[in-house]
Amino acid sequence: MSSSDHSDASAQRWRLDLAYDGNGLNGFAYQPEFTTVVGLLRSTLASTLHMDEEPQIVGAGRTDTGVHAFAQVVHVDLPTRLFARHRGSDPERLMRSLNKQLRGQVRIMRAQPVSDDFHARFSALWREYRYLVLESRPPALAFNDVWSWSVEGPLDVASMQRAADAVLGTHDFRAFCRRPTNAQPGEALLRNVMSARWERIEDQWGMSPDNAPAVRLTIRAQSFCHNMVRCLTSTMVAIGQGRLPENTVKLRLESTERQFLPPPAPARGLSLVGVGYDQFAGGPSGFVR
User: What tens digit of pLDDT does each residue of 192-237 get?
Assistant: 999 999 999 876 555 555 566 789 999 999 999 999 999 999 999 9
Predicted pLDDT of residue 138:
58
Predicted pLDDT of residue 90:
75
* Domain assignment present for 152: yes
Beta bridge partners of residue 68, listed in sequence order: 271
Predicted pLDDT of residue 22:
92
Predicted pLDDT of residue 6:
46
Predicted pLDDT of residue 189:
94
| Nearest C-alpha neighbor of 66 from the set 229, 282, 185 | 229
**Which of 70, 97, 123 lies at the terminal end of a domain, its last residue?**
123
Catalytic residue among 21, 64, 77, 90: 64
* Domain assignment present for 241: yes
* Domain assignment present for 287: no
94 in helix, strand or coil? helix
**Which of 123, 145, 179 lies at the terminal end of a domain, its last residue?**
123
- Which segments of the chain have a pLDDT < 70? 1-9, 83-89, 137-144, 203-212, 288-289
How many CB atoms sit inside 10 A of residue 82's CB?
A: 16
Beta bridge partners of residue 196, listed in sequence order: 219
Task: Check if the beta carbon of residue 234 is closer than 8 Å to that of residue 263.
Answer: yes
Q: Burial-class residue 230 by CB neighbours within 10 Å (0-12, 13-18, 19+).
A: buried
User: Does residue 184 share a domain with residue 45?
Assistant: no
User: Does residue 253 share a domain with residue 194?
Assistant: yes
User: Does residue 118 share a domain with residue 143?
Assistant: no
- Is there a catalytic annotation at residue 64? yes
* Domain assignment present for 4: no
Predicted pLDDT of residue 3:
40
User: Does residue 73 share a domain with residue 170?
Assistant: no
Predicted pLDDT of residue 143:
55
* Domain assignment present for 117: yes
Give the count of domains, the chain: 2
* Domain assignment present for 5: no
* Domain assignment present for 281: no
User: Does residue 145 share a domain with residue 104?
Assistant: no
Q: CA-to-CA distance for 152 and 133, rounded, in angstroms?
A: 10
